Structure 1
Amino acid sequence: MTDSCEVLVVGAGLAGLQCARELQAAGRDVQVWEAADDIGGRIRTEQVDGFLVDRGFQVLNPAYPAVRRWVDVGALDLQRFGAGLGVRRDEGLAVLAHPLREPRLIAGTVGSGIATPHDAAALLRWAAPAVVRSWGRDDDGRRPGRRPGRDVTLRHALDDAGLAGELRRVVEQFFAGVLLEDDGSTSNDFALLLLRTFALGVPGLPRLGMQALPRQLAASLAAPVRTGTRVESVAREAGSMLVRASAGELRAEQVVVATDPASAETLAFGNHGGGATGSGVSAMKGVLTHWFAASEPPSRLNLLCVDARKRPGGPLVNTAVVSNAAPAYAPAGRHLVQASALLGPGRPVPGDDEVRRHAAEIFGADASGWELVARHEVPDALPAQPPPLRPPGPAEISPGVFVCGDHRSTASIQGALESGHRAAQAVLRPDFG
């Protein structure tokens, strides 16, 4: 017997869950099917020997407009990092901090000498447009406040601003960890949007781990997400959508595909004229994250730390004593260190000892007693976001078939939630863009 519903959402990541909860709130009969054994998509949290470890180092920035609109941040009990960076230099570990949010660190920031007057001026030239950047869009899809001109790569924009020296390396290393690329190939417009968000909010980690975010979204659904159910095909048949999956078939009036880009290409575009929609599979960027347990914290800083030396001592883009900012991530009397490196074609995958050594070098600490808690290789961690930064792709691909995900918007939690919202609106309002 074939099941039925009004709308089937394929994929229980942030985009799919946000779409489903909006459709349910509008009175639609909605089911959510997920191929994996749990919800969250790329956001997963494991418990290992009393530690919480996320699948790849991720943080939640409460300044994202979509988070402010659709997420109960207070209920997540966000444990915040400090507003700044620890910077490994040849002379030692220095601090660059937000002067208004971290006044106790002003003396160290000023005294570090990282930001020379020339480079500080160049940084301000580059960052100034972030003041008028906005994540919102008006009704015709344009970005309000966007200055005329062409978008370029982040590297090109930093060159144009004249940013150089140690401060340039700090900026590049910070964004390498955020964007998961170290060649500056990301859209500068997107980088400025992220910069604005970091200026307006301080990221943190939910007390129960990052997966608490998708769990909160799913908690409002009337029917539980059906996990372990891989959708194999979506086709229009006899006036409705016939969905075939590993666990059976379902008839739906509409189907929303909220999966990774490759699966979306097959399910949403493959049999529905994808060539006419300009779909294209988004390139994905990878990250390798190690989690180490320590009996003593290698640093008292609650900041993300980067290696800004001319010749970095290893493969890491960042490291942090996560338990300094998020004590709930470690059992009492223990401390948790994360260390992340980039993955990708042509990059050798660093070993555990190499990662441990580089993280300890950044902190200026002894890592001989660190124990490996978990190691995550995430080859498809984040969609590439090259210039130009385009408006979101259309949510409706063909009659009855919709698609959403951060690969259809911006490569961020903001983009995933906003894309899910747009897909729900397109289902509810056929004239929605």
Structure 2
Amino acid sequence: MFNCMYFGFRYYSSTLWDIKHMKEQYKSFVNESGLLSVRNVQKSVAPRFVRFVKENFFPDFQIGGEPIIVSPDHNGRMVHRNAMHMVLMRGLDICVRMSDGIKIGDSVIPLLQKVLTERVSTVRDLIPDIDRKISEVANKVDGIINDWFRDIEEQIQNPVDSNIFTSKKEKDLWKIDTWCTKLVAELGYRIPKWVEKNRCIFLIGGHDIQYVKTFESKVMLQNQFNPQSKIKMSYVGSNMKVASMIAEDKDCKVIGDPVPSWFFWARLQSIFMSRIKFVEETHGDEECDEILRRVKKLLAYEANDLVVNDWAMLCKGNKIVVCDQGDKMLKVMIEYEKWKENATAKGFDQAFKDYHDEMLHSTFTSLHHHHRCALKYPCNFESVPEDVKCLECCHGMQKFVTFKCCHGSAYDDEAGLYCHDDEDSD
């Protein structure tokens, strides 16, 4: 399953969508992943299984719709009808923890020997070979512990066999999740590192490279006044050309990369779908659910690529401080001189939020002033609502049915597909 994700990043290209290349990629995928495959589906798959798939997985799976991942247990019983969203949400975190492995530490033999020696101290002189017996017990227990660790390691190496991706597990994880930076941007290696160092982080989106450069220049100017703040910036917008242009600009202080940007939105869409399902199953209210409201707003900001619709999010470590449309966030940075003293006294993040909130009451940011918003649901989603309120002005949104073909446009030939491996600087 994880190899599948890696396979998608490694080989996805608009120039390889022909039968010959697809067959070669599929063969390589099966070999690398250790999956079972059949050459002739009609001969190898029983008709009753085909009937079972049609009855249980449609309309979850539709031709032209989004792919699904069905998760069975060891006995072949379905534990998740569609684990795709859970894989995109949790897969990267699980991969990282898998690579970290188990912190086994030093041998427990010296500690066991010390404990046993202390406990038999009053009768040591009554048992001539007590030291040998202590050593035997300590080694035996150490062997049992090591066998247990090896068993755990084997299960970690194959999380699918451990039934990690179950409906129950997905629901249990949602019970402890909160609206935070890690939930939104658990991707790559830079942002999690910035979160751990409690940095101020700007996540920037939209489809206008000029907005990104203007915002960067204002933040860098602030850095000159307050070099201790060490503000980090990352473009996470869905526009691949913008991400590539940022990545190629060596003077740009904003981090940009086509693959993480794509994954950011694929993962955010999965958070959206998975959270809706959780709220429905727990009889919650979508409009009152903080995570769902804020994820909807992010998706609405980025959805319309035909209109310049920029946005920015300020985070302080794992705390999301403020997120708003690009012109409002940029105006706060342009007027930095008005609140720079507060930035020194309260910290950049709190001073930024205070000034931003103060602007909410001005004519510039009236409730009726906002760019066009759109919210997209996949055609195979079970709970597409009839009425949706705008995330900005709370008016009813218009409903459209859109047929969209992304063949050959996900990665522009000029954009390329690559990752930067430059070391993160403090």
State whether TM-score is above 0.5: no
TM-score bracket for this pair, using the shorter chain length: under 0.3
The structure richer in helix per residue is: 2
Query: Which has more radius of gyration?
Result: 2
Question: TM-score with structure 1 length normalisation?
Answer: 0.25
The structure richer in strand per residue is: 1
Using CA pairs below 8 Å that are at least 6 residues apart, which structure has the higher relative contact order?
A: 1
Question: TM-score with structure 2 length normalisation?
Answer: 0.25
